[in-house]
A = this chain, B = another copy of it.
């Protein structure tokens, strides 16, 4: 086995770091997550971490993109409201219960006082997620079940916004009934 050479970095070290960061975030929380600790858990030199990442949020971002981004694609049942009921339930569960959701919340939290991170987070995840979020609406327009003139952006916001709000701000539970009522408002 070798460690690093001129033709690029050690993939092994890279994976170790991402996994260690993920594990430690879930185990100890963001505040107690340190680069020193990540390096130690990963069995890697601290310098190796600093060589490839500039901060612990960069590591989390890469880890997040790597293993979690594709989870949240809405289903395609041919029924607009049914698709969103399922999708929003999954979104709520992702935000409040999953490990990947914990990483996402940590990143979103840091992005509040780090505009560069906010931009990166949008670029690598949020923009793509937004496209996935609107898929059922686009399919409904294709099927003719929804007016083509609708402001999809605003409509998506009205669906996912309250979910994020409850998950990130008020901490209120997102019940099936809550989701169902939310989805019913699409018919405007």
Query: A residues bordering B, Cβ < 8 Å?
Result: 29-31, 102, 105-106, 108-110, 112-114, 118, 122, 126, 130, 151, 154, 157-158, 160-166, 168-171, 178, 181-182, 185, 188
Contact = CB atoms under 8 A, between A and B. Distances in A.
Contacts of A118: 171
B108 A113 contact: no
Contact of A122 (B109, B151, B171): B171
11 contacts: A102-B113, A105-B113, A154-B162, A154-B182, A158-B162, A161-B162, A161-B165, A161-B166, A164-B165, A168-B169, A185-B188
Scoring A106, A118, A163, A169 by chain B CB atoms within 10 A of each residue's CB, the highest score goes to: A169
Contacts of A171: 118, 122
A160 B154 contact: no
A39 to B, nearest CB: 15
A107 to B, nearest CB: 10
A25 B183 CA distance: 39
The binding surface of chain A is classed by DSSP as helix
A102 B110 CA distance: 13
Contact of A109 (B102, B110, B154, B185): B110
Contacts of A130: 170
A123 to B, nearest CB: 12
A151 B151 CA distance: 25
A21 to B, nearest CB: 14
A67 B112 CA distance: 21
